Chain A
Amino acid sequence: MSRGNKYAQRSGGGIFEPNMTPLIDVSLVLVVILMVATPLAFQSSIAVRNAAAGAKKAAALARTDRIEISIHADGTVGVNRMVVPREALAVTMKPLVAQSATGMVVVRCDDGVSHGQFVGVLDEVKSLGAVQIAVVGS
């Protein structure tokens, strides 16, 4: 009777059940690795200057120190009052960002534009080397 007991070591018998703890342990570690490695579950963000003081400060900078971008609902983008197609934004912006001393970009956006397009422009501006982005209500 005692040989079938779980605690049969004392009577000379071995542990016959598989040890589940290492299995569970390794599985949980794999879960953690998957969670960390999945970038879809984790959001990123683009910082914008939105506070009244910050935006005013940005707008008060000299025209040569800031780059003004306006995103239009018809798919075009205005860079310093020069209207270019959306695809040409990077080409137009690159020399301007390089010349800018502050790297400040002021973005205005029309109401008809979708949030995705707005963020697409912010992302492109940021990847071109803009230091700060200020969003101004149009």
Chain B
Amino acid sequence: MKQRRLSPEPITKVNVTPIIDVSLVLVIILLVTAPMMSVADLPVNLPSARTREAEDQRNISVTLGSDGGMAVDQQRVTAELLAPTLAKRLAEPGNKGVLVIVRADTNAPYSSVRKILSDARIAGATRVAIATRQRTEAPR
């Protein structure tokens, strides 16, 4: 019977497990941050709401910042160019019937939100949602 050696040969291979481990965590971080990167860098204070609806699907975001600036996804647009830009984005392959999310500042007047909603309708958006910030306290 072959006896097991107490002092085996040293491990000469590179240990790849920690590299894979850290890389997978970085992949998870990228996956989590990817939806946050697709919105414009405009200051927006979203109105808070208790109700929540699923939003993990693909969407096109229209942002109305607190300074009045507008953007479709990351692209800054003027109020006049909103409808054509949105129509162009909706006409892209795979974007048919995609959810359009209106991210408007809580202090923005409703007239400008109505303009965005009407532009979205003109551009051919079939599904529209209004973005809110999830309120964390218990419901009344």
Please give the residue numbers on chain A whose beta carbons come within 8 Å of chain B beta carbons, in ascending order.
9-10, 21-22, 24-25, 28-29, 31-32, 35-36, 39-52, 54, 71, 109-120, 122-123, 126-127, 135, 137-138
> How far, in Å, is B44 (CB) from chain A's closest CB?
9
Residue of B nearest to A52 (CB): B121
> How far, in Å, is B6 (CB) from chain A's closest CB?
15
Residue of B nearest to A46 (CB): B130
Size bin of chain B's contact surface: 35 or more
Please give the residue numbers on chain B whose beta carbons come within 8 Å of chain A beta carbons, in ascending order.
10, 18, 21-22, 25-26, 28-29, 32-33, 36, 46-47, 49-53, 55, 99, 101, 103-114, 117-118, 120-121, 125-134, 136, 139
Residue of A nearest to B39 (CB): A43
CA distance A39 to B18 in the complex (A): 30
Q: Which of A40, A54, A120 interacts with B133 by CB under 8 Å?
A: A40
Mostly, the A contact residues are helix
* A35 contact set on B, CB distance < 8 A: 29, 32-33
> How far, in Å, is B134 (CB) from chain A's closest CB?
5
A44 & B133 in contact (Cβ 8 Å cutoff):
yes
- Listed by A's residue number, 13 A-B pairs whose Cβ atoms lie within 8 Å are A39-B133, A41-B36, A43-B132, A44-B52, A50-B128, A111-B109, A111-B110, A111-B114, A114-B106, A115-B113, A120-B47, A123-B49, A126-B49
